Amino acid sequence: MKESKRDFITGAEVVIKACRDAGADIMYGYPITPTCEILSGWINEGYASLQTEDEIAAGFGVCGAVLAGQKAFTASSGPGHILLQDAFAMAEGMRLPFVMIVGQRGGPSSGTVIYSQQEVMLSCFGGNGEGMRFVYSPSSLNELYSLTRLAFNDAWKYRFPAVLLTDGYMLKTTGVIEWEKIKDVENSPTFTRLSDGANVHWPNIYTAEEELYEEVMVMNKDYKKAASKVAKAEEYLTKDAKILLVAHGIVAASAKEAIVELRKKGVKVGLFRPTTLRPFSKKQFDKAASNKSVKKILVAESSLGQLARIVHDEMDPEICKPFAYLQKPALGIEIEDIYNFVLKNNK
């Protein structure tokens, strides 16, 4: 950590510091808004890097570096995130701790560059595997730092790829970071299977169906074991809530402010905020949603139901509560939007 107790820096600068503090050796990347400042900032600091010809090369560069024992990462967005899925899916299959910082962009195509939560499903289930990866969604600059550190640590500890899922708004925001409020953590050690000159067979292709089945089942067992420790969520004023509001990322930050004002009006609303979208904190959510006081569940997101889809898939089917949705793909959701949305559903 820096000696200074407070810094006034951008979200991109927070990510750079977090990656460096996590022990990252090298960054592979291709410039794309809104993550350009991560790549250029990393280079300007004089850290090892390679600007590749495209995101495909960047992704496989990360895979190669990790196999050689380095802590490598990349950062991208939108179309670049799509191109990175090839290498990311391979990392999932090979159990490589591939860390990817994603600044979401609105779609379709290249889309917008500031507000969006439209890369949730791509982050959680992209590629041709079963979505065995960790996906973190920060709601503040302090959390942008701590969850980036956690992404590296969990990826290297459990050997699954990890995504730090944010957006252009948070990456370009300048704010105060109070380092004393962030708990420092010890870095997970790196690993290599290419040491001592030994020949190592580490397959990424399985031609026999039975062999692949066995491999996937072993991965699934390991992932479930890790998920019980990795899955995290925050609850805010949920104990007596009649309305349970579900949101993540920057939308959840607006939701908190709206809840403060709604409580002043006597509206009993609470927030369930998943900080890991994958794995989802199912037990914690089921407990909050099944509370007898909860009469309605609201989901607010800057997409057309990507978070809602995860909530419905994970929720215990015996929890029969009505749902309502605030969905504004590629748009920012303001405090007033959530305030009015909750009031409308407080009947």
pLDDT digits (tens, 9 = 90+) for 164-215: 999 999 999 999 998 988 888 999 998 765 555 556 667 788 889 999 999 9
pLDDT digits (tens, 9 = 90+) for 261-295: 999 999 999 999 999 999 999 999 999 999 999 99
Nearest in space to 143 (alpha carbons), one of 273, 308, 310: 273
Is the pLDDT reported for residue 149 higher than 60?
Answer: yes
User: Would you state the structure tokens that stand for residue 2, as one six-digit string?
Assistant: 């820096």
Contact indicator for 260, 266 with CB cutoff of 8 Å: no
Is the pLDDT reported for residue 79 higher than 60?
Answer: yes
**Cα atoms found within 13 Å of the Cα of residue 324, Cβ hemisphere only:** 16
Is the pLDDT reported for residue 83 higher than 90?
Answer: yes
pLDDT digits (tens, 9 = 90+) for 215-245: 999 999 999 999 999 999 999 999 999 999 9
pLDDT digits (tens, 9 = 90+) for 90-148: 999 999 999 999 999 999 988 899 999 999 999 999 999 999 999 999 999 999 999 99
User: Would you state the structure tokens that stand for residue 275, as one six-digit string?
Assistant: 């900080």
pLDDT digits (tens, 9 = 90+) for 31-53: 999 999 999 999 999 999 999 99
Contact indicator for 274, 306 with CB cutoff of 8 Å: no
The pLDDT, as a whole number, for residue 205 is: 84
pLDDT digits (tens, 9 = 90+) for 295-321: 999 999 999 999 999 999 999 999 999
The pLDDT, as a whole number, for residue 2 is: 46
Mean pLDDT of the region 3-28: 93
The pLDDT, as a whole number, for residue 347 is: 81
Mean pLDDT of the region 145-164: 97
User: What secondary structure letter does DSSP report for 200?
Assistant: -
Strands 276-278 and 134-136: antiparallel
Widest Cα–Cα separation across the chain: 69
Give how far the C-alpha of residue 151 lies from the chain's centroid of Cα atoms, to the nearest Å.
8
Is the pLDDT reported for residue 251 higher than 80?
Answer: yes
State the Cα–Cα distance between residues 4 and 222, nearest whole angstrom. 40
Is the pLDDT reported for residue 327 higher than 70?
Answer: yes
Give how far the C-alpha of residue 237 lies from the chain's centroid of Cα atoms, to the nearest Å.
23
State the Cα–Cα distance between residues 68 and 200, nearest whole angstrom. 12
Is the pLDDT reported for residue 78 higher than 60?
Answer: yes
The pLDDT, as a whole number, for residue 192 is: 66
Q: Which domains does the chain have, with CATH numbers?
A: 6-230 (3.40.50.970), 233-345 (3.40.50.920)
Nearest in space to 76 (alpha carbons), one of 54, 95, 44: 54
State the Cα–Cα distance between residues 86 and 33, nearest whole angstrom. 20
The pLDDT, as a whole number, for residue 1 is: 42
